[in-house]
Structure 1
Amino acid sequence: MESMKRYSPPSLVDLASQSFLKDEASAIAKLRCLPSPLFLPLFKAAVTGRHLATLKVMVATWPFTRMPLGTLIGAQKLPQDILKAVLDGLDVLLAQKVHLGRYLCFFEATLDKVLTFLLKRVSQRQGQLLLCCRKLEIFNTSTRMEIIEKVLKMTQLNRVQEVAVNCTWELSTLARLAPLLGQMVHLRRLILSGIVLNSWREEDEVKNLVSLLASQLHHLHQLQELYLDPAQFLEGHVDQVFACLEAPLKTLWITECSLSESDFTDLSLCPSTKSLRSLNLSRIKLTGFNPQSLQVLLESASDTLQMLNLGGCGITDSQLKAILPALGHCSQLQLFRFYGIPVPVATLEGLLRHTLPLCKLQLLQFSIPLECYLDIQGPLQQEKLPVYMAKLKRTLQDLGKWNSLLVCQCDTDIDDHSITCIFQD
């Protein structure tokens, strides 16, 4: 019975498409009479069955103004024979002077031979066949930079809405692509992951590279989400980068780097951080910092902030107490993480009493209380955990959170010694 439940029979459209494609000669002859709504499921069936001749004719008789290959094919690595059939069909279509909305939507492809083939066909049809994609991901560091640049220069960059760079690139490599990035004027999400900064670079050289990048960010008026992980190049240059961002950000991730107090001050005063919904500053060491700039940052986004991650930042007891009033003003806060240095249970209780009655908190992750350790740098005394877990549970019940779930996580890494509290209605 269980296996029967998991079985999903093909739809009538699927069965009809398979039957239609069995006789390829007959299928090709009937394509021009095929109703438009049947083109999309039949196209997918032709790709799955590798009916290359049918694919070519389908593209040549395509009844729509756009052809979103990424959506239709649903594959990250497109077989070259299918790509060739599609482009051959486009050649026929273009030879008939029928313009497909001027755009062939671009899909992700990372193999050099596929890219080379695609670029050759686009070059041959210069002005007629253009590449367009909404989401662009660069994750293969073995791909030559010349190829990446060539692809981007042939792409309608003003159509790109999301870019993710997941490569171990040096800052100078990113700066090399900055002018192309600046042409993506409708970009909404930018993810830069793995960007590193060579220690031998002089400060003036770093400043020039950051300035080049920042000057292009100035053109991204629709940017809403910015992810920098890690963000080593930001140290000492927050003012350069964020002064160029004019649009209000909804999401900001700056992780695993060192920032100075002046960097934090610049960040808190930046207009683009006034309406944040998600702020992730995990693994930025804040121990010893004056928490005033963090207070200002939280206060400025207090009406909109929903997620705050300070995990691994080394937030101390005194710092946490200092930002409690600002946290209490974050009326939309749903998720808050901080762990890495244990703080007294009294401070944790104060946090619960300051935030729970005033916000919409659903998940809270914090360090195991200081009282459960021999000392602040000593080993965890697990036999003490039940006592303090029960104490925190009573605090939650006093606040009317009877159904809250406390989960204790005790791994070998002290940063993972944490308690997760899930608040249930």
Structure 2
Amino acid sequence: MEFKEPPTELPTLSDLVTQLLLKDEPALIQALEKIPTGLYASLFNAAFTGAHINILRQIVKIWPFPCLHMGTLTIREPQQELLKAMIESFQVTPDQSSASWCSKLRILDLRQDAVLRITCPGNNDTSSVCFHSCIYYAQSAMCIPAQCRNENAESEDHSSMQSLQIILDLSLNGTLKGREFFSLLVRKVQQSLGTLHLCCRDLKIDKLSDCKGSLSFLDLKCVDYLSVEQASLTEVTKLLTQMANLDSINLSKIICRSLTGRTFKRFTTNLKRMTSLAELNLSSFTLTNHLDCLLRVLPPTLEFLSLVFCELSNNDFRFLSQCPQTNNLKLLNVSNNPLYWEDCGPFQHLLEKNSGTLQHLEMDHCLMTDSTVSVLIPALSQCSQLRLLSFACNPISMNVLMRILQHLTPLMELSHVIYPIPVHCYRRWHLQGSIDQQMFDDIEARLKSMLEAAKRSDMNWITYSD
């Protein structure tokens, strides 16, 4: 049967009109206010994608709806200038020429989110409802830092000014471009005289000690996702006291001098307040024999748990397998923790109790031997929802690797497996450049043959070679 290319999707009338309008930029800018509102969404899409910065400025200035969301538009580094242009064009004070408010735009949402539409459904001239508006705006609007107010300005009636929001995800990484972007946001807040609320939903901080001044401009209650790298536990705890209801916490390289002192206790006390926490990622956070103190304060809604380089003990794994906080995990990452004990029952039980929910499992660099993996194979074969399994860089034999493949091929959801190179392929175990390439090629060929025999060509088995 001759293969035919599927028909390409024809452009809509709106697309055709938009492309026609963009060909004459000066005429389009002049006629923007006369264009039907139904064309604005596609026009905004095309202007952003085509980097028509002047058109984009004008669209934001006269946007005919209360909210504007980036939605599915992809924001890359060269497009940062477009974001800056949108922020600069966002009207936060009355038009000086008319002393009145001419823009209908109240919420500028700069997040990339596949579920967001450019404007909220039903948002029109008679409805100002935005389903993504900040729920903390009412409290934060009256708590703008003093440096945001114009101390020399004459007193004016702020009740007539509009409530405005910029919703965004922020990465405070200390780079020049990052600092420039944040300075633009601060200037916009200052220009608004307290009516503009910066609503940060996703906050990533590279070095906490370097950005304390920047944090004073944010209402931290808005943050849903917090990621901090390089900080003391005391600094992290102070940050958590200002947050209301985090969904996700990611902490890496956090300095904690004692797991039995007041600092750690204050940290866990603040974690206990996060009743909707679904994701906890800890890396290089030593928790030996104290994982129970951390996990027992968390809600039973936990779905994503990553404990990389946490120096977990057998007692920690035993608690991990028993506590109710780990009953419905979708992701589990215990890489770079030893799993070479004779008694692997606790971890086996952990896999069994999450067999109906676990989708992503990583156990790289865990020093697992043949005996350990053999104990875990029956539990792994019960994980019916598993989509990704990674157990690279563990010293196992070819025979055990073949057994794993045979037991995993019936898992129809499993599409990606990252496996360890068997020890017989190394001249010296896990030493750079010590792999026998011919042996390694033979293993790849054998795995491919076994997958074809099992009719699982959709399952990708890869590894990390030196």
TM-score by shorter chain over 0.5: yes
| Higher helix proportion (structure 1 or 2) | 1
The reply to whether residue 209 of structure 1 matches residue 258 of structure 2 is no
User: Under a length normalisation based on structure 1, what TM-score does the superposition of the two structures give?
Assistant: 0.73
Once the two structures are superposed, the pairs formed by residues 111-150 of structure 1 within 5 Å of their partners are 111-123=178-190, 125=192, 128-139=195-206, 141=207, 144-150=210-216
User: Under a length normalisation based on structure 2, what TM-score does the superposition of the two structures give?
Assistant: 0.67
Once the two structures are superposed, the pairs formed by residues 18-417 of structure 1 within 5 Å of their partners are 18-19=23-24, 21-22=26-27, 26-27=30-31, 31=33, 33-42=34-43, 48-51=51-54, 55=57, 59=60, 61-68=62-69, 74=75, 77-78=80-81, 82=85, 85-87=88-90, 89-92=91-94, 96=101, 100=106, 102-108=163-169, 111-123=178-190, 125=192, 128-139=195-206, 141=207, 144-153=210-219, 157-158=221-222, 160-165=223-228, 167-180=229-242, 182-183=243-244, 185=245, 187-192=246-251, 194-197=252-255, 201-204=257-260, 207-228=261-282, 230-288=283-341, 290-357=343-410, 360-373=413-426, 380-385=435-440, 400-401=454-455, 403=457, 411-412=465-466
Q: Check conservation: 2:225, 2:247, Cα contact below 8 A.
A: yes
CA pair 11-136 structure 1, distance change in 2 beyond 3 A: farther
CA pair 114-395 structure 1, distance change in 2 beyond 3 A: closer
Q: Distance in 1 between matches of 2:458 and 2:72?
A: 42
Q: Distance in 2 between matches of 1:150 and 1:215?
A: 23
Q: Which moved more, 1:110-119 or 1:284-293?
A: 110-119
Q: Distance in 2 between matches of 1:45 and 1:382?
A: 50
Q: How many residues align?
A: 383
Q: Distance in 2 between matches of 1:387 and 1:59?
A: 60
SS in 1 for 2:281: strand
Structure 1 runs not aligned, ≥5 long: 1-7, 413-425
Q: Check conservation: 2:201, 2:225, Cα contact below 8 A.
A: yes
Q: Check conservation: 2:284, 2:309, Cα contact below 8 A.
A: yes
Q: Distance in 1 between matches of 2:411 and 2:460?
A: 20
Q: Check conservation: 1:46, 1:55, Cα contact below 8 A.
A: no
- Residue-by-residue CA offset, 1:22-60 (whole Å, 9 max, x unaligned): 475x34xx62x43223334555677744439x836x555
How much has 1:284 moved relative to structure 2? 2.0
CA pair 212-49 structure 1, distance change in 2 beyond 3 A: same
- Residue-by-residue CA offset, 1:376-416 (whole Å, 9 max, x unaligned): 68954555556666766676577x3475888775733xxxx
Q: Distance in 2 between matches of 1:92 and 1:118?
A: 18
CA pair 336-410 structure 1, distance change in 2 beyond 3 A: closer
Q: Distance in 1 between matches of 2:377 and 2:164?
A: 52
- Residue-by-residue CA offset, 1:358-388 (whole Å, 9 max, x unaligned): 6643333333334445686895455555666
Q: Check conservation: 2:352, 2:382, Cα contact below 8 A.
A: yes
CA pair 208-145 structure 1, distance change in 2 beyond 3 A: farther
Q: Which moved more, 1:328-337 or 1:353-362?
A: 353-362
How much has 1:348 moved relative to structure 2? 2.7
- Residue-by-residue CA offset, 1:139-185 (whole Å, 9 max, x unaligned): 4x4983223321322x6x34x443444x33333332231123x31x2
Q: Distance in 2 between matches of 1:382 and 1:90?
A: 64
Q: Check conservation: 1:178, 1:212, Cα contact below 8 A.
A: no
Q: Distance in 2 between matches of 1:42 and 1:369?
A: 56
CA pair 113-321 structure 1, distance change in 2 beyond 3 A: closer
How much has 1:124 moved relative to structure 2? 5.6
Q: Distance in 1 between matches of 2:412 and 2:86?
A: 52
CA pair 397-189 structure 1, distance change in 2 beyond 3 A: same
Letter of the structure 2 residue corresponding to residue 269 of structure 1: Q
CA pair 14-73 structure 1, distance change in 2 beyond 3 A: farther
Alpha-carbon RMSD? 4.1
CA pair 144-43 structure 1, distance change in 2 beyond 3 A: farther
Q: Distance in 1 between matches of 2:411 and 2:461?
A: 23
CA pair 19-211 structure 1, distance change in 2 beyond 3 A: farther
SS in 2 for 1:263: helix
SS in 2 for 1:262: helix
Q: Distance in 1 between matches of 2:451 and 2:414?
A: 12
SS in 2 for 1:234: coil
CA pair 95-240 structure 1, distance change in 2 beyond 3 A: farther
Letter of the structure 2 residue corresponding to residue 170 of structure 1: S
Percent identity of paired positions between Structure 1 and Structure 2: 26
